[in-house]
Structure 1
């Protein structure tokens, strides 16, 4: 192996290691957050007035099977992505496809929930919508 190809290999592996560490820290942080903060969706819902929360709850329950299926698909996509990350040798193209699939599944789930929210907002009077307050996300919003 030439010095140039060895150096390129080291750089690629270093970048992949950094990405892996970042993803693992993100997952660990998400896991800890769900253990320390019970029912995160419920906390976000506190941003909305009670009448809107009730309407959202009813719509979410009505869409339960569809939402559960989307969550399951996202979990499966994440499991496939982590399996590709653990493979030896690492197939970067397969990893990129797996990551794109996770992004797509995340976007699909988010779009479903946002569509439900939009339906609730469409039926809510302006006086109720005026009571909506953005949730606080601590340090994420400081300095912006």
Structure 2
């Protein structure tokens, strides 16, 4: 299954930071911002999560749920949420199955080293469960505002 704008978003089930198993299909009837990020407590990921936190009320008013996904374990997600007062769920993609499904698990290069990791990406999923918009290789600065603007203009 490929992930393409206009097609049904692949459903999945992952353990969430609230201790419950969560399915993407649980949110049918709401708009969803599904964002994949590399690692809790790192500078870029913290900035991105805090930006989503700061605009959480604006997304909520548009009937839009924010969900973050990374391979970090639940305990690390809980610390991240507590430290930065994040008001949305973070999901634990333990075996990177969902990251692979969404084609964000990529070969990365940093300081001459190659490794597999998450390519920062965001998907907006509409109330029918279709992918309305995607951003890949996301640059953090201004991204959350751009995602919010998209939801306002296209899904509100």
State TM-score, norm by structure 2: 0.22
Higher strand share: 2
Specify the structure having the higher radius of gyration (Cα).
1
